Every structure is written in C-alpha cells, then in structure tokens.
C-alpha cells in the first residue's frame, strides 16, 4: 500500500495563529486539493495527522471540528480527491498525552489502523513538531514552506534527511515522479 501522511493546518489549508475555529475559517491553500486528488489517482491513500488543541482549550467543540473536516472532505470530493482518515490530537499543548506531535502517537495509530510499517512513508508538515513525529515513527519527513514552514526552515533544526518543498503540490509532483 502506498500511503502519505499530511498535517492539516499549513499544509492543506491556510493556518492561523488564532486557530481554525469554524468551517468558514478553513480555506484551502491553492493547489492543495488538486494535489491530494493527484495522489489518489496515482494510487496513494492519504491520511491526515493533526494537533487540534483548540478542542482541549475550549475554543471549539467536536461537532465544530467534525464540520470543519466535513467541509474539507466535500471540497476534496469536488476536485476528485479524498482523505481516507483524519487522526487528530484534541489535547491542549500542556497535556502529557502520547498523541500530541512531536510525539509519535498519531503515527502509531495510523500504522495500527492500516497494518503498515511507516518506515519511509512520506509525512508532510510545516512545523518542526510534524517532522519530529514523522522521524520518531520512522516516516520520511517532508517540509513545506507554506503555513509555518518558512519559520521552521529558518530555525534550522530539521531532522536529518528532511526534504524541503514550496508547497504540497510540489511534494506530490515529486512523489509521483519518483514512484
């Protein structure tokens, strides 16, 4: 099985320092929905692994998070794409949970659900914690410059072997060419 793991905010949609708190605030980054559709057409399964501490902070509830994801799924379908599953950590940043990135808990859940070893599986993120979680799970960390990506790149502490791309569309073109 070919699998790609994507962070959500900053990779698929525009991020906000005030959090994406409702469906109206969820806006796709140009080219991201088409990129996911291209992955699907190339035989990849696409899953999302996302910290959603806004739930734990009380900024929005699970019904609102589900509505945000419903919007994402609907817009993806309009572009011929799909995300097979969304794995998320609802806990606040000060939580000691195992699922909050940079810990690898979400990635371990993905591995269990799909009965797959994540070694070498592309994992696309825009923050250091996305890349660290990928590395901890054995996945291949890929940084996009969208979202917090430029700040992450400028900080200069990327895990060894991290590849850097302009955006998700460039990641997908490269993955398909290299397949």
- Catalytic residues, by residue number, are 7, 9
For residue 18, give every residue at least 6 positions away whose Cβ sits within 8 Å of its Cβ, in sequence order, or none: none
Q: How many CA atoms lie within 13 A of 2 on its CB side?
A: 11
Single out the residue of 120, 101, 82 nearest to residue 7, CA to CA: 101
Contact 163, 139 (CB under 8 A): no
How crowded is the C-beta side of 119, counted as CA atoms within 13 Å?
1
Residue 28 near residue 75, CB atoms below 8 Å: yes
Which residues are bridge partners to 87 per DSSP?
49
Angstrom distance (rounded) from CA 166 to CA 100: 25
Query: How would you class 45 by CB atoms within 10 Å of its CB: exposed for 0-12, middle for 13-18, buried for 19 or more?
Result: middle
Cα distance between residue 96 and residue 165, in whole Å: 31
């Amino acid at each position: 099985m070919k699998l790609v793991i994507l962070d959500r905010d900053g990779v698929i949609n525009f991020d906000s320092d005030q959090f994406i708190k409702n469906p109206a605030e969820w806006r796709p980054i140009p080219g991201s929905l088409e990129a996911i559709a291209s992955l699907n057409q190339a035989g990849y399964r696409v899953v999302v692994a996302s910290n959603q501490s806004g739930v734990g902070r009380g900024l929005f509830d699970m019904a609102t998070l589900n509505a945000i994801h419903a919007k994402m799924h609907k817009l993806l379908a309009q572009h011929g794409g799909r995300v097979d599953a969304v794995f998320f950590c609802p806990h606040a940043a000060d939580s000691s949970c195992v699922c909050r990135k940079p810990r690898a808990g979400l990635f371990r859940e993905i591995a269990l659900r799909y009965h797959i070893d994540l070694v070498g599986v592309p994992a696309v993120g825009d923050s250091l914690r996305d890349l660290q979680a990928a590395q901890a799970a054995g996945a291949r960390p890929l940084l996009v410059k969208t979202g917090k990506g430029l700040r992450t790149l400028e900080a200069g502490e990327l895990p060894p072997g991290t590849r850097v791309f302009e955006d998700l569309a460039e990641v997908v073109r490269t993955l398909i060419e290299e397949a």
